[in-house]
Amino acid sequence: MQVNTSEIQSSGLDAIGFSEATNCNRDWEGGLTPLGAGSSAPILKRLHPRRLTRILLLMFMLAGLSAGATSTASQSAAKLTMPSQPLPTFNLQLSIFNLHCASFNLQLAACNHRLTTFNVQLSTFNQHGMGFDQDKATHHFGLTLRGGTIEVEANDASDTTSRDQIRAHLSHIAVAFRAGDFSIPMFVHSETPPGVETMKQLKDAINYKYQETDRGGRVSISTTNPQAIEAIHSFLRYQMREHKTGDPLEPPTL
């Protein structure tokens, strides 16, 4: 290919001068390159499309990475500030929870108060379950070789009301025990006293005798059945412990 110097123009640069028509490389990369060693003429070049595409892609990638880093930093900063925002709601919920707890404690206290009142009323009911005020009377239980005794007297000799109530109670006890009915002592003590089941089974072998005393009354229990005697003693010892009478726990010896 033949090229004249007049065909080459510069764009803001000095024109490339050739002293004579020169063979140029047709397979040029980015411009015309004079053939021939030792030539001092400038070289006209332009970027290859592939290189330009690579540079543009690299620039887009760098811009994307920069934007992603900025977004990540913004999100991290937002996450760091998020926990401080829901605290008022949490405090409100905690206050409501504490209010519920206080209400529950108040209801529990009221329930305990009702239970205490119920227990006091039950104790008072048991106190009068025998038909007289036990604080105004004294119990005594005795063991004999063939059975034992139940004796109750009014503390005040002039307290005829308690005396009469005691007599009515003991006379009823004698009739009930004779029939195998021990519901009164089971009710008063809230449990079945020892010996009761055997005394029920052997009721026909046991004799119950009621007697009046100056301040109250007495029930004498006797039998010849060894098993019944043992059951009567167990029953009366239980009464001694429950009423704290301090009576002897063993029958007198001959």
Per domain, the residue ranges of the chain are: 1-57, 134-243
- Which 3 state secondary structure label does DSSP give 96? helix
pLDDT in tens, 124-166: 444 445 688 989 999 999 999 999 999 999 999 999 999 999 9
What's this model's pTM, rounded to 2 decimal places?
0.51
Query: Any residues with CB less than 8 A from the CB of 154 and at least 6 apart, and which?
Result: 136, 137, 160, 162, 163, 166, 215, 216
- Which 3 state secondary structure label does DSSP give 147? strand
pLDDT in tens, 192-243: 899 999 999 999 999 999 999 999 999 999 999 999 999 999 999 999 998 8
Name the percent of the chain lying above pLDDT 90.
41
Residue 58: HSE in the Cβ half-sphere, 13 Å Cα cutoff:
6
User: Residue 175's Cα: distance from chain center in Å?
Assistant: 53
pLDDT in tens, 39-71: 454 444 454 566 667 777 777 676 666 666 566
**Does the structure show a pLDDT above 50 at 186?**
yes
